Amino acid sequence: GAGVSQTPSNKVTEKGKYVELRCDPISGHTALYWYRQSLGQGPEFLIYFQGTGAADDSGLPNDRFFAVRPEGSVSTLKIQRTERGDSAVYLCASSFGGANYEQFFGPGTRLTVL
Amino acid sequence: GQQVMQIPQYQHVQEGEDFTTYCNSSTTLSNIQWYKQRPGGHPVFLIQLVKSGEVKKQKRLTFQFGEAKKNSSLHITATQTTDVGTYFCAGRSNYGQNFVFGPGTRLSVLP
Interval A42-97: pLDDT, tens:
999 999 999 999 989 999 999 999 999 999 999 999 999 999 999 999 999 999 98
3-state secondary structure of A42: coil
A1 pLDDT band, cuts 50/70/90, is low
Instruction: Look up residue A73 and give its DSSP letter.
Output: S
Q: What is the pLDDT of residues B71-98, one digit of tens each?
A: 999 999 999 999 999 999 999 988 878 9
Is residue A104 within 8 A of residue A2, CB to CB? The reply is no
- Secondary structure (3-state) at B72: strand
Say how far apart CA A19 and CA A13 lie, in whole Å: 8
Whats the size of chain B, residue-wise?
111
Question: B92 in helix, strand or coil?
Answer: strand
- Which of B11-15, B38-42, B95-99, B107-111 shows the lowest per-residue confidence on average (mean pLDDT)? B95-99
Chain A residues whose CB is inside 8 A of the B98 CB are 33, 45, 48, 56, 58-59, 99
Please name the residues between 28 and 47 in chain A that touch chain B, using a CB distance below 8 Å. 33, 35, 40-45
Higher per-residue confidence, B93 vs B24: B24
Mutate to test the interface with B, among A105, A109, A110 (most CBs of B within 10 A): A105
CA distance A104 to A89: 16
CA distance B26 to A12: 37
